Amino acid sequence: MSKKRIGLRTVKIVFVKLVLSLFLLSIAWVLLYKWIDPPTTLHMVKRRAEAGKADKNDPTINYRFVDLDEMSEQLPLAVVASEDQLFLLHNGFDMEAIVDAFKRNRKGGNIRGGSTISQQVAKNVFLWHGRSYLRKAVEAYFTVLIELIWGKQRIMEVYLNIAEMGDGVFGVEAASQLYFKKSAKDVGRQQAALLAAVLPNPIKYSAKNPSGFVLRKRGRIARAMGRLGGTTYIKTILPAHNEAQN
């Protein structure tokens, strides 16, 4: 066998081993976060670095992880009503929304996403932010993994804890304490809708000093929460329901 063929075979073996190692590592990572709360995310690290570069007095990240049963049931309902009304029905992807976003983005103007809550969790927990096709492909891969390994309840729990809801403010507990002076457990429908209203751009929009636009969006989200049937709509992902089933 020639040296060239031996070298090519070696490269193929190394490549296969690398791909297999990355696959196993990704599985282990997702399995770990099924049981262990993420201590931080790449997005949090990036936001802290950005704050440091801006010479802010306090570049720390306000992040407090709480279990889903330590949150008001209005909070998961609010983000479903606002961000992903098919969350309980899809397998991680809303193909109609993705196609619609693709068509709109081709026409130019403001870029719109068609990401589900599951995709947002995959992106914010495991990946960097960006618009490359490579990142979207890896995002899709991690979305499939968390849907299969975590399930809807854990996906929602992590989402409500790692979503940025203000400048350096991550998760519903930190946001509730800062904006409403109460725990996430005691948040009502209007307050939950207000937090959901700032999610698309928590740097531009404020839950502390909401603009007219944010207040109008809060009203639309609150009405959507009612149209969905209230917290009964999300009962299958509530801890109390799953405990009763067991």
Give this prediction's pTM.
0.87
In a domain, 143, yes or no: yes
Residue 169 in 3-state DSSP?
strand
Residue-wise pLDDT for 8-52, tens only, equals: 777 788 888 888 999 999 999 999 999 999 999 888 888 877 765
In a domain, 229, yes or no: yes
In a domain, 205, yes or no: yes
| Spatial separation of the C-alpha atoms in residues 230 and 73, rounded to whole Å | 9
In a domain, 11, yes or no: no
Count of domains in the chain? 1
CATH number, domain containing residue 145: 1.10.3810.10
**What are the Cα distances from residue 80, in Å, to 87, 153, 200, 228?**
7, 12, 13, 10
The predicted pLDDT at position 15 comes to 81
In a domain, 144, yes or no: yes
91, containing H or E segment: none
Domain holding 227, by residue range, is: 40-52+59-245
In a domain, 152, yes or no: yes
What's the burial of 217, exposed, middle or buried (CB within 10 Å: 0-12/13-18/19+)?
buried
The predicted pLDDT at position 98 comes to 72
**Those residues with Cβ within 8 angstroms of residue 175's Cβ, 6 or more apart along the chain or in another chain:** 165, 166, 169, 184, 195, 207
In a domain, 20, yes or no: no
The predicted pLDDT at position 133 comes to 81
In a domain, 7, yes or no: no
